[in-house]
Amino acid sequence: MAEKVHITGAGIISSIGLNYNEVLASLHASAGGIGKMTLLDSIYRDVIPVAEVKATNEELKSIAGTGAWGVFSRTSLLGIIAAREAVARAGIEDISEFSTGLISATTVGGMDRTERFFRHYLKDKNHGRLRDVITHDMGDSTEKIAEACGITDYVTTISTACSSSANAILLGSRLIENGILDRVLVGGVDSITLFTINGFNSLMILDKNGCKPFDEERNGLTLGEGAGFLVLESERALNKKGKRVPGTVTGYGNSCDAFHQTASSPEGDGAFLSMQKAIIKAGIAPESISYINAHGTGTKNNDLTEGKAIERIFGNSVPPCSSTKAFTGHTLGAAGGIEAVFSIMSIEEQCLWPNLNFNKKMNELGFTPVTELRKNIKVMNVLSNSFGFGGNNTSLIFSKF
């Protein structure tokens, strides 16, 4: 019998709040975080809305309390803040008491600083400050978070585009189940960069009016930034403390759509497989899913194929479903972590979060998303989807303990 995976803490920072309580308050108030671009120097500043974390790097530095011990990308600051909050909320005082790991995820790592370097470097290969480029790789933010939290036993980074942090949660769960670690901090982080703004803009999938997931007139995604982390613990670690457990990870499934580098297969084969695997792993019937926190980016392609895959799994009885990306934007490598925290909040609060900006039902789908905050709902199992470039699809199931 595999070890049960207990979730004992959650930490988050996003456009709708700098910590768990602020984010929760925004969810309850249906207050989304999409707005005008203020932090980046882009020609699209007034044209393309984004979901920025409402703090400058200096402000983040002071929240993170990093002092002067190194060079930080925005990504690592966001990661440190959310990761530390998860550890604190789990009531962990001595991190070295049990074998503890950190699995973080990111898609562009320290690109925010690399961009500062590169514009000078392009003009002259001897230009550009080196301190702006040493944080470029994916491992940098992870090692900064590990250092901030005092984690050394097992540290790694996953980078599978937009499903990255869902895969971090999946891996962390398996490390606990296999008895390799007793405790693991899992999640992901990304910051908004010129690289990703221009990347998605070149694909013409950024909605100039802010994303409208699952709406017939949706016109693309909105980029966001932030971080979301969970503390997972084994029975052994738990017994020592007898602490509060907001939820458990009961199911996970990873599959590859193997259809196209960026587009999903017409019937959402990869999405169907990852959801099916997660439900089988959880050992529950599909009707036991109380709420689906969909990937729901707001692109034509994703919402159609994800919706179809959901209908293939649930038939005519699709559980309440929403995408929270109209709150936070699409936070790429952080999305799975942020939405895992939303799933835990849903279980803790017994609430369903609304799919903001929804007006018109999609012609191809039989269901419509939850559009208003729903309270006093019996939330037992939440299915969370994260799908990425390359057809990397991952589904997770979080359950009430």
Among residues 204, 203, 219, the alpha carbon closest in space to that of 360 is found at 219
CB closer to other proteins out of 198 and 368 = 198
Q: Which amino acid does the sequence have at 61?
A: K
The answer to whether 158 and 187 have CB atoms below 8 angstroms apart is no
Has 211 been annotated as catalytic?
Answer: no
Residue given tokens 């004992």 in the structure block: 8
Other CB atoms within 10 A of residue 327 CB: 28
Among residues 149, 175, 5, 171, the alpha carbon closest in space to that of 87 is found at 149
Q: What is the dihedral of CA 263, 41, 324, 148, to 10 degrees?
A: 110
Has 127 been annotated as catalytic?
Answer: no
| Alpha carbons 166 and 146: distance in angstroms, whole number | 19
**Residue 79 CB, nearest approach to other proteins (Å):** 14
| Alpha carbons 181 and 161: distance in angstroms, whole number | 26
Q: Which amino acid does the sequence have at 77?
A: L
Has 162 been annotated as catalytic?
Answer: yes
CB closer to other proteins out of 225 and 269 = 269
The answer to whether 318 and 366 have CB atoms below 8 angstroms apart is yes
Q: Is residue 25 a contact point for other proteins (CB under 8 A)?
A: no
Window 336 to 375, contacts with other proteins (CB under 8 A) = none
Q: Is residue 389 a contact point for other proteins (CB under 8 A)?
A: yes
3-state helix, strand, coil in the chain (%, to 5): 40, 20, 40
H-only helix segments in 220-357: 235-241, 269-282, 300-314, 325-328, 335-349
User: In this structure, what token pair is assigned to residue 88?
Assistant: 């604190």
Window 285 to 314, contacts with other proteins (CB under 8 A) = none
Q: Which of 158, 169, 176, 340 binds other proteins (CB under 8 A)?
A: 158
Q: Is residue 110 a contact point for other proteins (CB under 8 A)?
A: no
Q: Is residue 160 a contact point for other proteins (CB under 8 A)?
A: yes
Window 181 to 220, contacts with other proteins (CB under 8 A) = 194-195, 198-199, 201-203
CB closer to other proteins out of 150 and 366 = 150
Q: Where does this chain touch other proteins (CB under 8 A) — which range of 84-92, 261-269, 295-303, 361-369?
A: 261-269
H-only helix segments in 178-268: 194-202, 235-241
The answer to whether 132 and 213 have CB atoms below 8 angstroms apart is no
CB closer to other proteins out of 40 and 88 = 40
Q: Which of 207, 215, 225, 269 binds other proteins (CB under 8 A)?
A: 269
Residue count, binding to other proteins (CB under 8 A)? 61
Q: Which of 25, 29, 31, 122 binds other proteins (CB under 8 A)?
A: 122
Q: Where does this chain touch other proteins (CB under 8 A) — which range of 216-224, 235-243, 262-270, 322-330?
A: 262-270
Binding pattern to other proteins, positions 38-67, x when CB under 8 A?
Answer: ----xxx-----------------------
CB closer to other proteins out of 89 and 113 = 113
Pick the catalytic residue: 6, 149, 162, 211?
Answer: 162
| Alpha carbons 129 and 121: distance in angstroms, whole number | 9
Pick the catalytic residue: 211, 295, 321, 351?
Answer: 295
Window 164 to 183, contacts with other proteins (CB under 8 A) = 167, 171, 174-175, 177-178, 180
Other CB atoms within 10 A of residue 228 CB: 36
Q: Where does this chain touch other proteins (CB under 8 A) — which range of 76-84, 85-93, 253-261, 302-310?
A: 253-261
**Distance from the Cα of residue 33 to its chain's centroid:** 15
Q: Which of 19, 30, 156, 219 binds other proteins (CB under 8 A)?
A: 156
Q: Is residue 119 a contact point for other proteins (CB under 8 A)?
A: yes
**Residue 88 CB, nearest approach to other proteins (Å):** 22
The answer to whether 248 and 229 have CB atoms below 8 angstroms apart is no
Binding pattern to other proteins, positions 124-143, x when CB under 8 A?
Answer: -xx---x--xx--xxx--xx
| Alpha carbons 379 and 44: distance in angstroms, whole number | 41
The answer to whether 9 and 89 have CB atoms below 8 angstroms apart is yes
Which residues of the shown chain bind other proteins in the complex (CB under 8 A)?
42-44, 107, 114-115, 118-119, 121-122, 125-126, 130, 133-134, 137-139, 142-143, 146, 152, 154-161, 167, 171, 174-175, 177-178, 180, 194-195, 198-199, 201-203, 254-262, 269-270, 273, 388-392
Residues serving a catalytic function are: 162, 295, 330
